[in-house]
Amino acid sequence: MSVLIGVVSQKGGVGKSMVSRLLATEYARVDWNVLIADMDSSQSTSYEWNLRREKNKINPSIHVERFTDVEDAIQVHESYDLVIFDGAPHASRMTKNIANIVHLLLLPTGNSIDDLNPQIRLAHELVNGGIDKDKLAFVLSRVGNSHTELNEVLDYLHQTGYMILSGHVLEKTTFRQAVRDGRSITETRYIGLTSKCEQVVQSVVDRINYLTK
Ligand SMILES: Nc1ncnc2c1ncn2[C@@H]1O[C@H](COP(=O)(O)OP(=O)(O)OP(=O)(O)O)[C@@H](O)[C@H]1O
Ligand SMILES: [Mg+2]
């Protein structure tokens, strides 16, 4: 069976592609055959990142293909252990289609109310449209250094009743440099940052194990 993970948002720029690449490299490191389905062919963020990765001969290797609809991606899923759907900037019918077929649907959000509220609304829309609430999980992404703000955001999200993954992805210049070179955010030389990102990955692994058992 291939594991299917979606990474979607109502709003652009929340870190979907960053989180997709993080998961792809971490699963590939333990020998999973991973495909990122880049669902935004106009930007091709993950696709172009992988071209840089291949050019710089970075291991483990990841497959990235561009798709314009979910059906086409599903045609190839059996060739992979894991398919990660890196969603387009805005929610659309495609978001619902991704939500329907994945085991786990990640909703990355920054700490700003401008990011949080659209993601919470998207989660409500999906659940009202028949998507199992248990599939959904919020991921804190592009988080600043303020613990106070982080705790406020966690309180705010907890009130929604949705699952929130443990750990968070910090906003770091070094992460932008990593992607420029075709690396993921666990492939910098900063061990402390890597272990923080690994908490998010472990939380995804635990959730997938729970949802697919
Ligand atoms: N943790 C981070 N630290 C620093 N920069 C980040 C981080 N996460 C994302 N970025 C940068 O922020 C921008 C948006 O991130 P990303 O492309 O992952 O978001 P996205 O949700 O996939 O965007 P889109 O909706 O356009 O597809 C990119 O320039 C990316 O390099
Ligand atoms: Mg993207």
Span 14-54, pLDDT tens digits? 999 999 999 999 999 999 999 999 999 899 999 999 999 99
Nearest CA to ligand 1 atom 27: 89
Q: Could you give the CA distance from residue 124 to residue 49 in angstroms, rounded to a whole number?
A: 32
Sign of the dihedral through C-alpha 132, 116, 83, 163: negative
User: pLDDT by residue (tens digit) across 146-202?
Assistant: 999 999 999 999 999 999 999 999 999 999 999 999 999 999 999 999 999 999 999
* Residue among 159, 127, 129, 157 at smallest CA distance from 141: 157
Chain CA centroid to CA 13, Å: 12
Distance 128 CA to ligand 2 centre (A): 25
Tokens of 33: 């055959």
- pLDDT tens-place string over residues 75-102: 998 899 999 999 999 889 999 999 999 9
The count of structural domains within the chain is: 1
Residue 116: give the domain boundaries: 3-212
Edge to edge, the sheet with strand 82-86 lists 63-66, 34-38, 82-86, 3-7, 104-109, 136-140, 163-164
Cα dist from 112 to 14, 115, 143, 167, 198, whole Å: 10, 5, 9, 17, 23
**Alpha carbons 72 and 76: distance in angstroms, whole number:** 7
Cα(20) to centroid(ligand 1), Å? 11
Instruction: Indicate which CATH number applies to the domain containing 136.
Output: 3.40.50.300
Q: What distance in angstroms lies between residue 122's CA and the mean position of ligand 2's atoms?
A: 17
Nearest atom in ligand 1 to 13's CA: 23
- The CB of 11 under 6 Å from ligand 1? The reply is no
Residue 100 Cα to ligand 1 middle (Å)? 25
Is residue 1 very low, low, confident or very high in pLDDT (cuts 50, 70, 90)?
Answer: confident
Cβ pair 17, 46 in contact under 8 A: yes
89 lines ligand 1 (CB under 6 A): yes
